[in-house]
Structure 1
Amino acid sequence: MSSVIPLIPRVKADAEGNLSAFIAHARDELTAFGAELDFEAELWDVTKYYSNKGHRDAKQGTVTIHFCQRIKDGGTPFLPQLSGFAKAYVRSQLANRSSSSFTFAITAFRALDRSIQEHGLASLVDCDATIFNRAAEVLRSRTIIGDNESAGAILGVIARFMDENGFVYAPLHNWRYPRTRRAARGKIGPDFERRRRDRMPSPEALNALAQAFHSAVEPRDVLITSITAIMCSAPERINEVLALPVDCEVEQLANDGRKYLGLRWAGSKGAADHIKWILPGMADVVRDALARIRRITDPARAMARWYERHPTKLYLPPKLKHLRDKEILTLEEIWEIANLSPCKRAVRSWMRGGKIPYTYITASHPIQGEIQIQAVRFADIEQFIVGMLPAGFPIYDEGRGLKYSEALLAIPEGLFGNRGDGSGNGCMFEVVKYHHIGCALGQNRRAGSATVFERVGIDPEGKLSMRTHQFRHWLNTLAQGANLSQVDIATWSGRAHIHQNTAYDHVTSEEIVTKIREAVGNHAKAIGPLAEIPKNLPLTRAEFASMAVPTAHVTLYGFCIHDFTSTPCEMFRKCLDCREHICVKGIPGKMERVQLALEAARESLAKARKAVGDEAYGAEDWVAAHLATVERLEQLLSILNDPSVADGAAIQLTSTNTFSLSEGALLDRLNVGTNRQVHLPGKTTKKALS
């Protein structure tokens, strides 16, 4: 009986060969992440690799790469047909980038793994656009906002990489992640309130933090509250706070004779290093916070300077220098060196953890006479503690050349542990890590970590918590509410683009309505009908403002003040032709949309004029309509671009040649049975309606 020989297309066979060669090259020839890397493992610990490069993430904790689904999704390893390629891609394409670069790549691979599994592909070379489209759907389904642009962009890069290198049988035709167009986020409703609560610190937590700053006594509590005081003074990221140099202050005398305080910040996410000027009301708080931090961290920097000069010798504080001449140390002397609890059990536990060998000496006992007691050689203790020096020492931040001896937040090792008098190890140092701050603010409640609020007695029930990034959202929202320009907000926050401001704007609709009402009748704050209040009104300005601006909700171009409790929108979302629409200068994204609307209107006008030239019926009316739209948008943009108009100014559109359904019905009713033309206030019509 003859056997069946499967025929494999040459293109597919070549793709299989290309893929196998790529994986073999990454596994056997590349040395990124270390030559000793276990390529076949599902978990790569690459902390040492990034530590050797002086990367800050490696100093804040372990850096690992998991080639499997998320733990809450079962933690299933990638399918064999994908696993090798994913590892080869990460090792060859992402090893020389930031440790955060492969986070989105792994998310993309997880979605691709799920898509391959659902379609039952036996080989990765069978991936086509359908597989990647399904992977894109998986990415979107796992995000609250219905889109994942970061991981989606990486998914597109992976698809093009496979196509360009001949790893797939069917061409992917330059496949890209199909982004969904997000609707403009409103300022009302449960979604907005949820976002605001999630991203902003609660007033109770902020008040408790101020109390804790004044009540803290223990070194670690003083340190945490001082760090958060600095974060309340400028909208910076936590990684930038952790990289502050010890000499970060800048004092400058201004033209008004006042002295202003600034801090030197290290930029990130595309922003350059910069000086952040502190608001005068927070300057004394920041000075006090920096002084408190230095009192706690000065000993750690002294240790770092010692180890820079003597990298193989144990540093001893002045009160313990006499121990350097001893060859043998007792357990009591060891707990002084390591600042452990005055208990031999604690010393033995510490030594077992460090695998420090014991020796024995003869001592005199009042009852038993001469006995053998446990002791330790000074050389063994010295070797163990010196071995605790962080990888990459003496450099803390390689990108900026910052040493441990220059870092503001270098601390005695074990300061955040429960040892000795709470001041940490007197012979070794470390740096404040993100989890030290996060746990103190309540981010590790499930593990039972006590918050700083509990430790100082403010929150005995453990109800208060906050995240470090909430300070950034809070300060940005305050700046938005104060009408600070978008350029100034971006600069103050250390951003490369003003468009990123939008994600940090949590000003409520009530606050927006209040700002618009304040602009009513004020020519300095409003342009258009809002600036004009009829004379001799039988009510106050505030009452008139409440009637003129009953409410406000977000539109693509600004805010609508139509009262929807009386009628629905009668302009069919033609916001830029509506008198009840308000544009506020300085809101990111709004002016760009007006510019796009103007470009679209100009294109429509050009087409209408061409139709007139072709003698199309009714084209003249379209030219008139589009010309009016173009003129209105040009006027609006000229106001938005006018430097004499302050950011935050409310701009109301003047009367137009369009009218709502109710106004049109009123015109019809007034003109019934008459031959004369009737005009509504602020309206013009070409002919009487009949």
Structure 2
Amino acid sequence: MAEVYDFKSKRLLACERFVANARSLPIFASKNDFNFESLSWNVAQLVSAGRARNACIAFKSLKSPLGTKKKPMAQPFGDAVKAAVAEKLWATRDAPNGVSAYRDIARAGQYLFRVMEEDQLNGDITALTIDHLTRAIPSHLAQDTQTTIAYGLRTLARIWAEAGIAPQLEDWEFDRIPSAKESRLENVKARRNLTHDEVCAIAEAFHRAKTPYEQVITSVLALLCCAPSRMEEALILPEQVEIVERPGEYDVPAEQSFHKDNRFRFGLRWWPSKGGPPMIKFVPAEMVPVAIEALSRLRTHTATARELAKWMDKNPGVMPLPCALSHVRDCGEITTAEILQLFERDVQRYKKFRPFRRLRNGVYDFFSVEDWWRAQRPNGWPILSERSGVKYSNALLVFNRYQLGNWATDPTQIEMLTEKQIGAALSPNPGQPSIFERLGVRLPDGSFPRITTHQIRHYLNTIAQRANVPQAHIAYWSGRKSVMQNRDYDHTDILDVVDQIMARGVHSEVAQSVPVIVSDGDGTDMDLLEASIRTNVHSTPFGFCVGNLTYEPCSRAMTCTTCTRLVCVVGNMDQTANIEADILRRRKSVENLKAMDANGRKVNPRMKAQMEAQLKHGEMLLSMMIKSENEGAVIRNSGAPGLMDFSHSVRAFESRKKRNQECLFEN
């Protein structure tokens, strides 16, 4: 008798595993007001307080009735949306967002399901395509609403791609419509990068920091400057993290082997959060002393909290007590004065003593106090991060509660450093100056820096892009599993070069075949010229090319110093070094020609003269690039001599043409 098997693809099996893992998350404990099967989750206990009237997330299909008649989204798509929201709730449990951040994900799933219904996919999540995501954004809605839905769709796409459910969706991006105040030619996202002055401000703050709060914040920033990492990756580092000398190529996949470079002789252990495996992130040798000092400072200021966490691990569920209050456990009673001594000001934030069971006037049951203390422990205790396997007892960035804040330190509780605390330290608020304001670190214009931790990651990626590091290496260094994600972090200074070109009135020729892109400005000729330059400028090892490389192949690849479309910016050391190397190569070639001529060997005089002219021009260009008074100036390579034109192919064609004509005449 033939047997019938239920075939399931790898993607469908991955979806089932993804949903099963989400069902087992602790957020579906009995104390919460929802379960995985519900079509409405009340997540009030898992999100930060906000202005929303309720904290419910709906998973019904769009336009279905409310109440008992509401219809769920078809499976397995509906469960996959729930699982994505649950994963996001669990991942941000230590620093929860407002309910709208999670509600937007579910809402994006509803709009995506409506498109699936139109194509009759019947909830088959593995059949999704990039076109479905694009069509899921309603065109009739306001622009802000479209952007919100797009962000939710992008979150779903990346979560499902990482889980192996729909890897084809990983690189989807929403082409946002520019607002009336934006220019289509002004890549706002590409401008979000650290400047040299802001990097110097971080270094200055690191050296000026004296108090524990100042040293903790600046040390975290210093670690982020050592390797391109996300903030959440730094927060889950273990206390044993160290600088590894000569990590070797075994830490790099075989297809991405690094060449032997002394700059990448050291590394830090990291747990990437963007799809990459646990790894050692290479650290430039110049930053090794900075990383060692930062780690030393962090270990010093977190040692007390780590010892407390270790004691709590050995005594699970037991509240630590100072020696002066050790008697309260034996008698089971604690007075008001002893509670204030134990928690200092913290207990007043919890409606004074209402959570505690009062025995008589001014006396409370100690064990009710201990029960309240257990409920205040961080989520996931004693595990800080499941990704890295780090516990609070061996984590690098753990502190006693309120140790870094304005409240009196709670000696009985542990908390981890959060992204909100770092963000608050970088963004000045009324009554709370930024770390740069506290330390008096200013930019050259007198203002205080306003940066984010993610800009540091963009800055390091930009340095790698400018150094022509292979894309596979940049992706690995940044903890990515796809080189396609590198493009969002490529902030070469092309836009700055365009600004300098326009400011100095350099009218560079632009190929006639390039489509004219009209600026959103006032339509002047300068706007059109700037649009054309910005559309076509490209970065090269020698400078910037304003030629039409998009539509025409370059006939002078790697011979940019002989091209009139080359634009150089004085002060770029890498480009200056490449020009110098090109001159050395040309000088060697000219010397070889002269030696051949002196030895009586046949030398093409036109070629010799042309190469000598190219060498002379390159030396002149280099002399202008190394002059300190030209720092920041734009040099257009307008007087460059052309390449040598050879007539071999022309003569061969004419000879063949003549021979063919003779054959035709004879016939």
TM-score calculated relative to the size of structure 2: 0.54
Distance change >3 Å, CA 509–CA 311, structure 1 → 2 = same
Matched residue, 2:189: 195
The partner residue of 1:310 within 310, 315, 322 is 315
Distance change >3 Å, CA 416–CA 132, structure 1 → 2 = closer
Separation (CA, whole Å) in 2 of partners of 1:471 and 1:389: 32
Q: Look up the equivalent residue of 1:215 and give its one-letter code.
A: R
The partner residue of 1:395 within 375, 383, 397 is 383
Q: Look up the equivalent residue of 1:238 and give its one-letter code.
A: M
Separation (CA, whole Å) in 1 of partners of 2:261 and 2:442: 43
Shift of 1:147: 12
Whether contact under 8 Å (1:551, 1:562) holds in the other structure is: no
Q: Is residue 355 of structure 1 aligned with residue 340 of structure 2?
A: no
Q: Is residue 79 of structure 1 aligned with residue 60 of structure 2?
A: no
Distance change >3 Å, CA 581–CA 193, structure 1 → 2 = farther
Q: Secondary structure at the match of 2:136?
A: helix
Render the CA deviation track for 1:664-685: whole Å, top value 9, x for unaligned.
xxxxxxxxxxxxxxx9945765
Separation (CA, whole Å) in 2 of partners of 1:46 and 1:87: 26
Distance change >3 Å, CA 356–CA 157, structure 1 → 2 = closer
Matched residue, 1:281: 286
Separation (CA, whole Å) in 1 of partners of 2:433 and 2:223: 22
Matched residue, 1:151: 153
Q: Look up the equivalent residue of 2:109 and give its one-letter code.
A: F
Shift of 1:249: 0.6
Q: Look up the equivalent residue of 1:80 and give its one-letter code.
A: S
Shift of 1:504: 1.0
Distance change >3 Å, CA 201–CA 181, structure 1 → 2 = closer
Separation (CA, whole Å) in 2 of partners of 1:157 and 1:478: 29
Whether contact under 8 Å (2:237, 2:388) holds in the other structure is: no
Shift of 1:248: 0.7
The partner residue of 2:436 within 453, 463, 484 is 453
Separation (CA, whole Å) in 2 of partners of 1:316 and 1:333: 11
Shift of 1:246: 0.7
Q: Look up the equivalent residue of 1:151 and give its one-letter code.
A: L
Q: Look up the equivalent residue of 1:300 and give its one-letter code.
A: A
Aligned pairs for 1:391-430 (under 5 A) are 391-420=379-408, 424-430=409-415
Matched residue, 1:66: 57
Separation (CA, whole Å) in 2 of partners of 1:427 and 1:561: 59
Question: Which of the pair has more CA radius of gyration?
Answer: 1
Matched residue, 2:475: 490
Separation (CA, whole Å) in 1 of partners of 2:208 and 2:170: 52
Matched residue, 1:664: none
The partner residue of 2:417 within 432, 448, 451 is 432
Separation (CA, whole Å) in 1 of partners of 2:134 and 2:461: 37
Whether contact under 8 Å (1:552, 1:559) holds in the other structure is: no
Distance change >3 Å, CA 577–CA 432, structure 1 → 2 = closer
Shift of 1:181: 11
Q: Look up the equivalent residue of 1:576 and give its one-letter code.
A: P
Separation (CA, whole Å) in 1 of partners of 2:305 and 2:400: 5
Separation (CA, whole Å) in 1 of partners of 2:351 and 2:303: 27
Shift of 1:236: 0.8
Whether contact under 8 Å (2:333, 2:365) holds in the other structure is: yes
Distance change >3 Å, CA 462–CA 176, structure 1 → 2 = closer
Shift of 1:317: 5.0
Matched residue, 2:273: 268
Shift of 1:378: 3.5
Render the CA deviation track for 1:224-251: whole Å, top value 9, x for unaligned.
2211111111101112111101101144
Whether contact under 8 Å (2:426, 2:434) holds in the other structure is: yes
Render the CA deviation track for 1:21-76: whole Å, top value 9, x for unaligned.
xxxxx9xxx9986375266675542977x9xxxxxx9xxxxxx873399xxxxxxx
Q: Look up the equivalent residue of 1:267 and give its one-letter code.
A: P
Distance change >3 Å, CA 296–CA 178, structure 1 → 2 = closer
Render the CA deviation track for 1:483-528: whole Å, top value 9, x for unaligned.
3332332222122233322221101127889xxxxxxxxxxxxxxx
Q: Is residue 37 of structure 1 aligned with residue 20 of structure 2?
A: no
TM-score calculated relative to the size of structure 1: 0.53
Deviates more, 1:221-230 or 1:37-46: 37-46
Separation (CA, whole Å) in 1 of partners of 2:278 and 2:158: 32
Gaps of 5+ in 1: 1-25, 51-56, 58-63, 70-76, 159-174, 184-188, 341-345, 362-373, 514-549, 585-645, 651-678
Gaps of 5+ in 2: 1-18, 49-54, 90-101, 124-128, 161-167, 177-182, 248-259, 499-532, 562-577, 583-642, 656-667
Q: Secondary structure at the match of 1:392?
A: coil
Distance change >3 Å, CA 88–CA 114, structure 1 → 2 = closer
Matched residue, 1:109: 109
Render the CA deviation track for 1:80-127: whole Å, top value 9, x for unaligned.
2596424976762355567249888535335459989xx9xxxx9xxx
Percent of paired sites with the same residue: 26
The partner residue of 1:338 within 343, 346, 365 is 343
The partner residue of 2:204 within 194, 202, 211 is 211
Matched residue, 1:528: none
Distance change >3 Å, CA 403–CA 488, structure 1 → 2 = same
Matched residue, 2:223: 230
How large is the Cα RMSD of the aligned pairs?
5.8
Distance change >3 Å, CA 86–CA 377, structure 1 → 2 = same
Separation (CA, whole Å) in 2 of partners of 1:105 and 1:354: 37
Whether contact under 8 Å (1:86, 1:109) holds in the other structure is: no
Q: Is residue 252 of structure 1 aligned with residue 245 of structure 2?
A: yes
Matched residue, 2:214: 221
Distance change >3 Å, CA 291–CA 68, structure 1 → 2 = same
Whether contact under 8 Å (1:331, 1:347) holds in the other structure is: no
Shift of 1:211: 3.3
